[in-house]
Chain A
Amino acid sequence: MNRVTLFLLSLPLAGCQGWQSTLDAHGPAARTLADMFWIFTAVLATVWVLTMGALLLALRKRRVAGADPLATNPATERRMTIVISTAIGLTFVTVLALTGISYGGQRALYSHKDGALTLLVTGRQWWWQITYEDPQTNRIFTTANEIHIPVGEPVLIKLESADVIHSFWIPNLTGKMDAITGRQNQVQIQADRPGVYRGQCAEFCGLQHAHMGMLVIAEPKEDFERWRNNQISAAKPPADPERQRGMEIFLSKPCVMCHQIRGTDAGGKIAPDLTHVGSRRYIAAGTLETTRGNIAAWIVDPHGIKPGVTMPTIQLEPDEVQPLASYLEGLK
């Protein structure tokens, strides 16, 4: 019994933690939103309790039986009119106050500060393409499904779509914004603390809408710069023979039609850039942790994991899988 109570009590609190929770705020925008949510909840719950109380009282009231349903007592009518008018007045004031709070929150949420970093995020069926913009063109690079940001700095995200409408949403940091075909939207994210925050496409976008996740990794400035410089650089040729063989397999197989690995001949641009795929925590848009086994599983049977995904099933000899996975895992 106790355990059941404990479990039930833990349910409402469960929303307060977790890496994709709106109420576990890790940025100024998300905090404003969470605060607003609790204010609204408190006010509206009070209204609900009062209304239900009134209903309950109305039902429990003692009364004379058998009176004429058309007979009304003018005094009662007047009293009820006054009570209802007051209630309506209070509703109006409440609604006005909430509108005001909402407007304040809206101003806070959408007033973009100047930030050092601008990202172009393109929603694609069913992954996120991320381009770090830079005035120096040789410092522009593209990655997928994993955004690194420096802690405490506002980062502007420009949103576009390459196919259908997607929605960019990192609940721990801020509310969502749609990536709409033929348009560009903007949203700003900022993290207060280092951490890993998960996000997910929030606008239905087809077969694999459910598996279109991404990570935002907030880290101290110097870690971020180190990461960025590494991302800018091309992939280093592998040293050990197994991975060298993996690279040969990669370059001789259909992989190159779609994927790019900077520093090699693979230059496809229609699938995630794999130059540093081994440094990313997840593959397949936030679906599988980056391990050698998962990479092998993904290559051998992507449709078993994400049915309908664009990645085709690649015909490999049994002894080709390990080297290939090993090579990709090593692309740090």
Chain B
Amino acid sequence: MTQTLAPHDVALDAVPEPTRLLTGQPAGMPGVQSEADAPPDPRELRDDQVDGQELTARLARTWGTRKGIIGALSTVDHKIIGRRYIITAFIFLFLGGLSAVAMRMQLARPESGLIGPDLYNQLFTMHGTTMMFLFGVPIGEAFAVFLLPLMLGTRNIAFARLNAYSYYVYLFGGAMIWFAFMLNIGPDVGWFAYVPLSGPEFSPGKRVDFWAQMITFTEVAGIAVAVQIVVTVFKMRAPGMTLDRIPLFVWAELVNAFIIIFALPAVVTASVMLIMDRLVGTHFFNPAEGGDALLYQHLFWFFGHPEVYIIFIPATGWVSAIVVTFSRRQAFGYIPLVLSMIATGFLSFGLWVHHMFTTGLPQLGASFFTASSMLIAIPNGIQIFCWIATLWDGRPVFRTPLLFVMGFFFIFVAGGLSGIMLASVPIDAQVHDTMFVVAHFHYVLIGGNVFPLLGAVYYWFPKFTGRMMSERLGKWHFWLAFIGFNITFFPMHITGLMGMPRRVYTYLPEMGWGNLNLISTLGATMLFASFVVFLVNVVVSARRGALAGPNPWDAGTLEWATSSPPLPQNFDRIPVVTNREPLWAHRNTLPVVAGLSVENREVIISTATAGRADLKESSPEPSIWPFLAAIATTVTFIGSIFTPWAIVWGGLPTTITLLGWFWPKGVKEDEA
């Protein structure tokens, strides 16, 4: 398909002579006819008939978002929704961080009376819940929503209305649990909510019900976005983007989406069983009536361990993108990197029992999970080694994003290695549920997700806003975060080994844990200060940062081929991909295809493996219905906390909104 390409300028106002891939002559595999090859409808204006400013303006009008509040709520632009997703996830990150700081204040001194057990239990539950469900899962998907269509060279994400719906459901679910917390209905049973403690007998009131419904909200949103990601990656790639030309970040998001699709139903099952035990008196977890408390743990961790990789795998995408760009060298070991991501995805489902080594499971079974847990060191090792090799053979440019990736290496490798200790049944018997584990998974999650994430924000901020972030503040941010993090969490290894369990709101002075805890608290303050610096940097840079231009980092992937921030249509003409790093392969010009409608929202659907242009499909118009459907869903879910009948009554408005959403409108494409 690339045989007829002519080189063209990347710049938007250039006047490229488009390659007519979609104009009648077969461009794909010989003998295979596809709709893309059909002659265009002469009545419709196509993008090979106009050029330059006019094309840009017309496409921007076609793909744009209407003004006003209705317009803002109706938008299906993946960039606008992606930006909202990212900002919302960061707000939850800050809320979770604040609750962590409050806990650290309480733990600074033994027998401190600052926060009582009731509030403390709510705080650590909110911290874990927020970080795992409202930040960890959504942040990876949020970046995918914004970046994937840009990186894949298409104009919107698949199922764009579902995308809008999923965002609102996520927002309402997260807002619900935080409002509940402020009304003293905050869950107080830990983010894992083990039965029977979270069951009807030991958790009176509605606190746990709110938690369980929050799970439902975030799962609906999470799975919806995961489906969009899978479809976008498989069917909406730019022509010529074969499987081995997909950027590593996109691979990471794809693997991540599959993990989400397979893991999240387990926790929905668990939380629905829990809420049914609590509200309608089922006995799933009641041993006296033949239920089983351990069943809950199995279900929860069958989700809970892949969850760790749901948080980590997008970060491997961020790290890959940053390492490649700032090494000024294409990724070493692209295929091994992709395969190790996939292997991690598969292995992540075979590890969950290492969260349950102390529940008295059969020993042979437990030792199997030791082996499988340790095995995951191998794909992770491959990734780390390949990144180091890329840096080794490249010409590293030290900017803030790469600095954060260095922090990632330092911290994440340490956390991964202490994870090998936890994989061992006997060692886990000592350190399970102690501060050692807290230290371990903060090394893994903050090292493995937050540091790459901050790098990713510094990296893609110019694309999001069109302005650069301050390097000077960025360096301050990094060093404060890096040092603060290690001061906070390294001592926890020792407090854990000294016997301090997790989730205690206080401890006796004679235990001798006071000084180490004080150090951790001081570190936490520093870590928090680093985030304040970050916030200042974001706010100031978004208003007054240096203008970025389309490709400030001289990166190689397609999102840098368009303006910063991108126009609603992403690209005036869809690029043709001939290389894994298209902008490095075509330094000054980028081949493009033409033939798409200018007046209608049309996108190219390509074949799943070869990335051959196959169909022209319409992408959804903006609609208010997803927003209304999200409200109806929210009312149903919150109502069902109080009465099971809410499912029945709430079904009515939900159905009405869905009818409105899918009401056939006689899309112009169908008339043709």
Mark A residues whose CB is within 8 Å of B: 11-12, 14-15, 18, 20-23, 30, 32-33, 36-37, 40-41, 44-45, 47-48, 51-52, 54-55, 57-59, 61, 63-70, 72-73, 76-77, 80-81, 83-84, 87-88, 91-92, 95, 98-99, 101-103, 105-106, 108-110, 125, 163-165, 167, 169, 171, 174-178, 180-183, 185-186, 198, 200-211, 213, 286-287, 307-308
Q: Is B66 an interface residue (CB 8 A)?
A: no
Contacting residues, chain B, for A61 (C-beta < 8 A): 392
Q: Which of A22, A81, A88, A164 contacts B430 (CB 8 A)?
A: A22
Smallest CB gap from B121: residue in A: A207
Contacting residues, chain B, for A208 (C-beta < 8 A): 117
Q: Is the CB of B117 within 8 A of A171?
A: no
Nearest Cβ distance between residue A160 and chain B, in whole angstroms? 11
Tell me if B's interface is mostly helix, strand, loop or mixed. helix
Q: Is the CB of B117 within 8 A of A308?
A: yes
Q: Is the CB of A22 within 8 A of B417?
A: no
Contacting residues, chain A, for B190 (C-beta < 8 A): 204
Contacting residues, chain A, for B197 (C-beta < 8 A): 164-165, 204-206
CA distance A82 to B48 in the complex (A): 50
Nearest Cβ distance between residue A282 and chain B, in whole angstroms? 10
CA distance A47 to B418 in the complex (A): 11
CA distance A176 to B496 in the complex (A): 13
Q: Is B293 an interface residue (CB 8 A)?
A: yes
- Within 559-600 of B, Cβ neighbours of A (below 8 Å) are at 579, 581, 584-585
Given the known interface contacts A15-B494, A110-B363, the answer about A207 and B501 at a Cβ–Cβ threshold of 8 Å is: no
Q: Is B13 an interface residue (CB 8 A)?
A: no
Q: Is the CB of B429 within 8 A of A174?
A: yes
Top-4 shortest CB links A-B:
A175-B429, A182-B287, A20-B499, A210-B504
Contacting residues, chain B, for A125 (C-beta < 8 A): 202
CA distance A95 to B378 in the complex (A): 9
Pick 19 A–B contacts, CB within 8 A, sort by A: A11-B494, A20-B511, A21-B499, A22-B497, A66-B395, A69-B581, A70-B579, A84-B333, A84-B389, A95-B374, A95-B420, A102-B370, A182-B288, A183-B293, A200-B501, A202-B502, A204-B502, A205-B197, A286-B508
Smallest CB gap from B512: residue in A: A18
CA distance A73 to B491 in the complex (A): 45
- Within 15-40 of B, Cβ neighbours of A (below 8 Å) are at none
Q: Which of B367, B501, B579 contacts A103 (CB 8 A)?
A: B367
CA distance A87 to B333 in the complex (A): 14
Q: Is the CB of B287 within 8 A of A178?
A: no
Mark B residues whose CB is within 8 Å of A: 116-118, 121, 189-190, 194, 196-197, 201-202, 287-288, 292-294, 327-330, 332-333, 358-360, 363, 366-367, 370-371, 374-375, 377-378, 381-382, 384-386, 388-389, 391-396, 406, 409-410, 413-414, 417-418, 420-421, 423-434, 491, 494, 497-499, 501-508, 511-512, 516, 556, 579, 581, 584-585
Known: A80-B389, A91-B381, A95-B420. 13 other contacts (CB 8 A): A21-B498, A36-B426, A44-B420, A45-B417, A55-B391, A69-B584, A72-B329, A72-B330, A73-B393, A84-B333, A99-B374, A178-B358, A185-B359
Given the known interface contacts A22-B430, A69-B556, the answer about A185 and B424 at a Cβ–Cβ threshold of 8 Å is: no
Cβ-Cβ contact count across A and B, 8 Å cutoff: 263
Q: Is the CB of B499 within 8 A of A182?
A: no
Nearest Cβ distance between residue B384 and chain A, in whole angstroms? 7
Given the known interface contacts A63-B395, A70-B585, A110-B363, the answer about A36 and B424 at a Cβ–Cβ threshold of 8 Å is: yes
Q: Is the CB of B424 within 8 A of A105?
A: yes
Q: Is the CB of B501 within 8 A of A58?
A: no
Given the known interface contacts A87-B381, A91-B377, A180-B293, the answer about A37 and B421 at a Cβ–Cβ threshold of 8 Å is: yes
Contacting residues, chain A, for B396 (C-beta < 8 A): 59
Contacting residues, chain B, for A57 (C-beta < 8 A): 392
CA distance A67 to B584 in the complex (A): 12
Contacting residues, chain B, for A37 (C-beta < 8 A): 421, 427, 430, 497
Given the known interface contacts A11-B491, A181-B287, the answer about A105 and B374 at a Cβ–Cβ threshold of 8 Å is: no
Contacting residues, chain A, for B511 (C-beta < 8 A): 18, 20
Contacting residues, chain B, for A32 (C-beta < 8 A): 426
Contacting residues, chain B, for A110 (C-beta < 8 A): 363
Q: Is the CB of A40 within 8 A of B499?
A: no
Contacting residues, chain A, for B377 (C-beta < 8 A): 91, 95
Contacting residues, chain A, for B420 (C-beta < 8 A): 40, 44, 95, 98
Q: Is the CB of A178 within 8 A of B330?
A: no
CA distance A103 to B494 in the complex (A): 25
Smallest CB gap from B583: residue in A: A69
Given the known interface contacts A91-B378, A95-B374, A98-B374, the answer about A40 and B117 at a Cβ–Cβ threshold of 8 Å is: no
Contacting residues, chain A, for B201 (C-beta < 8 A): 163
Nearest Cβ distance between residue B590 and chain A, in whole angstroms? 15
Q: Is the CB of B425 within 8 A of A201?
A: no
Q: Is the CB of A203 within 8 A of B497?
A: no
CA distance A128 to B330 in the complex (A): 61
Q: Which of B116, B287, B494 contacts A14 (CB 8 A)?
A: B494
CA distance A168 to B165 in the complex (A): 46
Q: Which of A20, A57, A68 has the most CB of B within 10 A?
A: A20
Nearest Cβ distance between residue A185 and chain B, in whole angstroms? 4
Nearest Cβ distance between residue B495 and chain A, in whole angstroms? 8
Contacting residues, chain A, for B332 (C-beta < 8 A): 77, 80
CA distance A286 to B333 in the complex (A): 56
Contacting residues, chain A, for B329 (C-beta < 8 A): 69, 72
CA distance A12 to B515 in the complex (A): 12
Nearest Cβ distance between residue A232 and chain B, in whole angstroms? 30
Contacting residues, chain A, for B516 (C-beta < 8 A): 11, 14
Q: Is the CB of B497 within 8 A of A23?
A: yes
Nearest Cβ distance between residue A120 and chain B, in whole angstroms? 15
CA distance A239 to B299 in the complex (A): 59
Nearest Cβ distance between residue A129 and chain B, in whole angstroms? 17
CA distance A198 to B420 in the complex (A): 27
Q: Is the CB of A105 within 8 A of B358?
A: no
Given the known interface contacts A200-B501, A307-B118, the answer about A102 and B417 at a Cβ–Cβ threshold of 8 Å is: no
Contacting residues, chain A, for B505 (C-beta < 8 A): 209-210
Contacting residues, chain A, for B388 (C-beta < 8 A): 51, 54-55, 58
Nearest Cβ distance between residue B270 and chain A, in whole angstroms? 15
Q: Is the CB of A202 within 8 A of B556?
A: no
Smallest CB gap from A163: residue in B: B202
Q: Is the CB of B116 within 8 A of A307?
A: yes
Smallest CB gap from B328: residue in A: A69
Contacting residues, chain A, for B202 (C-beta < 8 A): 125, 163-164, 206
Nearest Cβ distance between residue A124 and chain B, in whole angstroms? 12
Nearest Cβ distance between residue A216 and chain B, in whole angstroms? 13
Contacting residues, chain A, for B189 (C-beta < 8 A): 204
Smallest CB gap from B192: residue in A: A204
Smallest CB gap from B500: residue in A: A20
Contacting residues, chain A, for B429 (C-beta < 8 A): 33, 109, 174-177
Q: Is the CB of A210 within 8 A of B358?
A: no
Q: Is the CB of B196 within 8 A of A163?
A: yes
Smallest CB gap from A182: residue in B: B287
Q: Is the CB of B430 within 8 A of A65?
A: no
Q: Which of B194, B396, B507, B585 has the most CB of A within 10 A?
A: B194
Q: Is the CB of A58 within 8 A of B381?
A: no
Nearest Cβ distance between residue B126 and chain A, in whole angstroms? 14
Contacting residues, chain A, for B327 (C-beta < 8 A): 69
Nearest Cβ distance between residue A52 and chain B, in whole angstroms? 7
CA distance A182 to B202 in the complex (A): 15
Nearest Cβ distance between residue A212 and chain B, in whole angstroms? 9
Smallest CB gap from B395: residue in A: A63
CA distance A30 to B429 in the complex (A): 10
Contacting residues, chain A, for B385 (C-beta < 8 A): 54, 84, 87-88
